[in-house]
Amino acid sequence: MAKSLPINGTDYVEFYVGNAKQAAHFYQSAFGFQPVAYAGLETGLKDRVSYVLRQDKITFVLTGALTPDSPVAEHHKLHGDGVKVIAFWVDDARKSFEETTAKGAKAYKEPYTESDENGDVVLSGIHTYGDTVHIFVERKNYKGDFLPGFVKWEPEYQPVDTGLIYVDHIVGNVGWEKMDTVANFYRDVMGFNQLISFDDKDISTEYTALKSKVMANDNMRIKFPINEPAKGKMKSQIEEYLDFYMGPGPQHVAVATDDIVKTISALRDRGVDFLFVPDTYYDSVTERVGEIEEDIEVLKKHKILIDKDDKGYLLQLFTKPVEDRPTFFFEIIQRKGAESFGKGNFQALFESIEHEQRLRGTL
Ligand code: FE2
């Protein structure tokens, strides 16, 4: 098998938002991210401001516009708050750019070097689905906290973390009949392998349906499930996303914990809203997943979902959308051997999402 493009992991995820200052506060207070770095007017930026937050291996950048003609403002006007950049940590950002563009990727940023007293970073970028982009970050000659151009951000307010440790996977929602095109992009341009596919026969409820393929790199640190809507009786949740995001884009970032009960209860205490899980979900769960280490009553109390595959099981839960539009949300996941994505929970999950869609009148 051909080798995939060498990627060490997710470097950062950058959100374009309507109010970066307030969003940064939300990620600190609700999710327990720690302040790392800042860039804005004080550092010479004219059209945008960025706050960098981190929790263990997860780095988020919240970027807002300072002027109406900023590309950040244009992106936000169209899409609302959402993920703009999924950045890859690579050893060679020039080679990553050359290899991917030679294989058909559309250039976003030609390779360039940024420097400060902490060293050099080489960056480059390509487009992926919708207005989403991938930035290649080569930081082997850099000792700073984030990137050149950023200064340390040290507010007094530093709430404790919630046990989030790394980005497990990032899901993209794409248009009707576009799943294969995007999956093939990751296969042909990045050398990713297809892990799993399922179609509307696997994932559908009375009303909604989707198709999905999971693409991953060789070391499995990058996993991208790609969803497209499928015909159901009523509007698919993927369609609702596409309508409100005004096109394809990242649907959710799954962040891992090694103590999901502790993490979920901390997040709930701090005001994070999760999807409603009916008590009846737990009536048949043991039958479906067999014996697990955790006490089902405890999982039921915290409304945590359980699924299994042939390698083990996983525990997961999904937040409600974290912005005004019903678009992007988070998944909290703890893997206990399982390498899959919770397909068995889709039914229960969909019924719950439909309940929310019904309340919004968008089903
Ligand atoms: Fe997921």
Q: In angstroms, what is the span from residue 335 Cα to ligand 1's centroid?
A: 12
3-state class (DSSP) for residue 136: strand
121/19 Cα distance (integer angstroms): 28
Q: In angstroms, what is the span from residue 113 Cα to ligand 1's centroid?
A: 34
Q: Can you give the pLDDT at residue 198?
A: 61
For the 164-360 domain, the top CATH level (class) is alpha beta
Q: In angstroms, what is the span from residue 317 Cα to ligand 1's centroid?
A: 9
Q: Can you give the pLDDT at residue 312?
A: 94
* Pairing of β 164-173 and β 223-230: parallel
Q: Can you give the pLDDT at residue 207?
A: 56
Q: What is the mean pLDDT of the chain?
A: 93
**Please, what sign has the CA dihedral across residues 94, 98, 99, 105?**
positive
Q: Can you give the pLDDT at residue 33?
A: 98
93/121 Cα distance (integer angstroms): 9
Q: Can you give the pLDDT at residue 346?
A: 74
Burial of residue 325 (CB within 10 Å: 0-12, 13-18, 19+) is middle
Q: Can you give the pLDDT at residue 37?
A: 98
Please give the order of strands across the beta sheet that includes 119-127: 107-116, 119-127, 133-138, 82-90, 9-16, 58-65, 48-55, 34-39, 151-152
Q: In angstroms, what is the span from residue 169 Cα to ligand 1's centroid?
A: 7
Q: Can you give the pLDDT at residue 48?
A: 98
Q: In angstroms, what is the span from residue 213 Cα to ligand 1's centroid?
A: 12
Mean pLDDT of all residues in 246-260: 98
Give 265's DSSP letter: H
Return the axis-axis angle of helices 343-360 and 237-245, rounded to nearest 10°.
Answer: 60
| DSSP class per residue in 290-333 | ---SS-HHHHHHHT-EEEEETTEEEEEEEBPPSSSSS--EEEEE
- Asked if pLDDT for residue 288 goes beyond 90, the answer is no
| DSSP class per residue in 324-353 | SSS--EEEEEEEEB--S--HHHHHHHHHHH
Which pLDDT tens digit goes with each residue over 202-251? 555 555 678 889 999 999 999 999 999 988 766 788 999 999 999 999 99
Q: In angstroms, what is the span from residue 102 Cα to ligand 1's centroid?
A: 31
Q: In angstroms, what is the span from residue 131 Cα to ligand 1's centroid?
A: 21
Task: Enumerate residues 6+ apart whose C-beta is below 8 A from 80.
Answer: 18, 244, 245, 323, 324, 325, 327
| DSSP class per residue in 64-123 | EESSTTSHHHHHHHHH-SEEEEEEEEES-HHHHHHHHHHTTPPEEEEEEEEEETTEEEEE
Q: Worst-scoring range by mean pLDDT, 82-86, 126-130, 204-208? A: 204-208
Q: How far apart are the first and last CA of the chain?
A: 43
Q: Can you give the pLDDT at residue 303?
A: 95
Residue 90's nearest CA partner among 170, 169, 9 is 9
Q: In angstroms, what is the span from residue 251 Cα to ligand 1's centroid?
A: 9
Mean pLDDT of all residues in 134-144: 98
| Chain mean position to CA 357 | 21
- Asked if pLDDT for residue 258 goes beyond 60, the answer is yes
Mean pLDDT of all residues in 74-83: 98
Q: In angstroms, what is the span from residue 29 Cα to ligand 1's centroid?
A: 23
When pLDDT is cut at 50, 70 and 90, the band that residue 283 belongs to is confident
Q: Can you give the pLDDT at residue 278?
A: 82
Which pLDDT tens digit goes with each residue over 305-322? 999 988 999 999 999 999
CATH of domain 9-152: 3.10.180.10
Cβ distance 109 to 125 under 8 Å?
Answer: yes
61/12 Cα distance (integer angstroms): 7
- All CATH 3.10.180.10 domain ranges of the chain, comma separated, are 9-152, 164-360
When pLDDT is cut at 50, 70 and 90, the band that residue 117 belongs to is very high
Q: Can you give the pLDDT at residue 345?
A: 84
Count CB neighbours of 186 within 10 A.
Answer: 25
Mean pLDDT of all residues in 281-298: 89
Q: In angstroms, what is the span from residue 72 Cα to ligand 1's centroid?
A: 27
Which pLDDT tens digit goes with each residue over 170-198? 999 999 999 999 999 999 999 999 987 66
- Asked if pLDDT for residue 19 goes beyond 70, the answer is yes
Q: Can you give the pLDDT at residue 296?
A: 93
- Provide, rounded to the nearest whole percent, the portion of the chain with pLDDT above 70: 93
Q: If phi over 0 gives left and psi between -120 and 50 gives alpha, with beta otherwise, what is residue 284?
A: alpha
- Asked if pLDDT for residue 154 goes beyond 70, the answer is yes
